[in-house]
Amino acid sequence: MIEISEVSKAYGAGKARFMALNNVSVSVAQNEFFTLLGPSGCGKTTLLRVIAGFVDPTEGTVTMDGDNLLALPPHRRPVNTVFQNYALFPHLTVRQNIAFGLEMLGKPKTEITDTVEEMMALVQMEGMADRQTSQISGGQQQRVALARALAPKPKVLLLDEPLSALDFKLRKSMQIELKRLQTETGITFIFVTHDQEEALTMSDRIAVMHAGSIRQIGPPREIYDHPAERFVADFIGDTNFLPVKIVTAQGSEAQVELGSGNRVAARLNNAHNGGDVTTLAVRPEHARVVPEADGLMTGRLSNLVYFGTDTHYHVDLDDGIRFVVRVQNNTDMARVAAQGDRIGVTFPAGVGQVLRD
């Protein structure tokens, strides 16, 4: 539906030239919940603003259904934007805020009335139609902003970190609500966030951005389980990084040698030559704490951190690497070690991912 091709955005000139976007290309499908994920300053909001028409790219093209989107001014593009601060009119009621965009489009009064009622039901705000937006909570304001943006039935809804101002529990519930709204309306959502959990929870696909470029695109499970490079593995969730030597490599599989001298099977996501010294990523939940004699690696338990649902075991390995093991706190779990104990760490063959830096 949306084709972004070789888009760049530069600010300044000469030595002061800064590339906010650097040759970005990506396709977004119809009825897709697509997320731009990355740290502050990576270019994700700039890319969203290029689609909306608030920023003109230095180079590249953006098309929607084959038509040149860059040739249209913002108000003529079939997109709407939900901003981080919602940008509601505090002197207007909920009903009036939702109706505003439809009135600006010159829609008939009966159509406006029916659409506003439909949108209030969609975001579950029926009982608050006549309240001013200054008299409702932050979560309710977010719903009103969504309803106002959805009312004109845009082809694409752009969301610029709309959940960042909400408290933890409300943010979690709104993640589910956003996905429900996208599914029910059939509108393509392009969502910007720096929150990995939001991206993993809601998205059909995620584009991980860094330094103005897209580093990996894929479904949440693929991004998490098969990161393409060290930055992606480090940014998405918690990861242990181990220096390893590749002993043998064939296709997508390799035999690697750990710092302890033990060998284990691992996954490859790009070509490596045998003998390369590289990095192995192992998620904390894939590892186990075992008696020292049974470990692929050994070390001293330096800290235990209780998180309610699980406990994190911080192990200082003998080769100087800090390794974290996440153990779920179920009723059958007994403490396997105490702080200061010598222990072993192991993980199954094939769970480690060999990365390019």
Look up the CATH number of the domain holding residue 150: 3.40.50.300
Q: Which of 87-91, 124-128, 294-298 has the highest mean pLDDT?
A: 294-298
Within 13 A of 94's CA, how many CA atoms are on the CB side? 24
CB-CB contact of 2 with 27 (8 Å) = yes
Number of domains in the chain: 2
In the chain, the percentage of residues whose pLDDT exceeds 70 is 96
The CA-CA-CA angle for residues 172, 175, 177, to 5°, reads 115
Mean pLDDT over the full length of the chain? 90
- Rounded to an integer, what distance in angstroms lies between the CA atom of residue 204 and that of residue 23? 23
**Mean per-residue pLDDT for 3-28?**
94
CB-CB contact of 343 with 292 (8 Å) = yes
**Mean per-residue pLDDT for 272-281?**
73
DSSP state of 316: E
Work out the end-to-end distance of the chain between its first and last CA atoms, rounded to an integer number of angstroms: 33
Q: What pLDDT score does 7 carry?
A: 97
Pick from 230, 261, 288: which residue ends a domain?
230
Is residue 357 very low, low, confident or very high in pLDDT (cuts 50, 70, 90)? low
- Whether residues 157 and 216 share a domain: the answer is yes
**Mean per-residue pLDDT for 268-275?**
60
CATH number at residue 325: 2.40.50.140
Q: What pLDDT score does 268 carry?
A: 86
- Rounded to an integer, what distance in angstroms lies between the CA atom of residue 289 and that of residue 324? 10
Instruction: Tell me which residue has tokens 């119809």.
Output: 30
In the chain, the percentage of residues whose pLDDT exceeds 90 is 63
Partnered with residue 193 across adjacent β-strands are 37
Q: What pLDDT score does 329 carry?
A: 85
- Whether residues 209 and 256 share a domain: the answer is no
CB-CB contact of 322 with 259 (8 Å) = no
Q: What letters, b where the CB count within 10 A reaches 16 and e where it falls short, cover 198-208?
A: bbbebbbbbbb
Among 14-28, 135-149, 232-246, where is mean pLDDT lowest? 135-149
- Whether residues 18 and 130 share a domain: the answer is yes
- Whether residues 225 and 97 share a domain: the answer is yes
Pick from 198, 230, 262: which residue ends a domain?
230
Among 111-115, 136-140, 146-150, 209-213, where is mean pLDDT lowest? 136-140
- Whether residues 146 and 244 share a domain: the answer is no
User: Which amino acid appears at position 272 of this protein?
Assistant: H
Judge whether residue 192 has pLDDT over 90: yes
**Mean per-residue pLDDT for 168-184?**
85
Judge whether residue 293 has pLDDT over 70: yes
Query: Which has the higher per-residue pLDDT, 65 or 14?
Result: 65
- Whether residues 226 and 242 share a domain: the answer is no
Angle formed by the axes of helices 94-104 and 138-150, nearest 10°: 20
- Whether residues 223 and 246 share a domain: the answer is no
Q: What pLDDT score does 88 carry?
A: 86
- Whether residues 280 and 199 share a domain: the answer is no
Pick from 179, 206, 230: which residue ends a domain?
230
For 323, the domain range is 238-355
- Whether residues 248 and 194 share a domain: the answer is no
Q: What pLDDT score does 275 carry?
A: 59
Is residue 335 very low, low, confident or very high in pLDDT (cuts 50, 70, 90)? low
Residue 118 Cα distances to 81, 92, 124, 295, angstroms: 19, 19, 10, 60
**Mean per-residue pLDDT for 269-280?**
68
Parallel, antiparallel, or unpaired for β 213-218 and 310-317? unpaired
- Whether residues 170 and 215 share a domain: the answer is yes
- Whether residues 204 and 151 share a domain: the answer is yes
Q: What pLDDT score does 169 carry?
A: 80
- Whether residues 126 and 156 share a domain: the answer is yes
- Rounded to an integer, what distance in angstroms lies between the CA atom of residue 238 and that of residue 145? 33
CB-CB contact of 245 with 237 (8 Å) = no
